[in-house]
Structure 1
Amino acid sequence: MLGDKAGASAAEYALILAVIGVGVAVAFGQLGGAIKGKVESATSKISTADAS
């Protein structure tokens, strides 16, 4: 019986880690998109300033 509880605990920890991993991946995706937008905006402003 002890083995069954240990197996269940390991499965629960694996599930928790999977959920956290997905959350981190989504957060990094969102952050990457935000950073890309800021860099593109800065690049556009620099190009416009150079053209003046």
Structure 2
Amino acid sequence: MSKQADVMWTPKVAAALKTRVKPKPTNRSKKNRKLTWSCRGSMPHWMRMR
């Protein structure tokens, strides 16, 4: 019997088991080149201030 059969499937469990590839950054801050954003999730503070 597999381990997954004993797990109660909830949205949190399903989300934790999914694997996503880390996307390449598509936007970079002009002031601090280390700050990047890949357009996933909410817009970062430094991007809103531009």
Higher gyration radius (CA) = 1
Higher relative contact order (CA 8 A, sep 6+): 2
Report the structure, 1 or 2, having the larger helix content.
Answer: 1
Q: TM-score, normalised by structure 2?
A: 0.23
Q: TM-score, normalised by structure 1?
A: 0.22
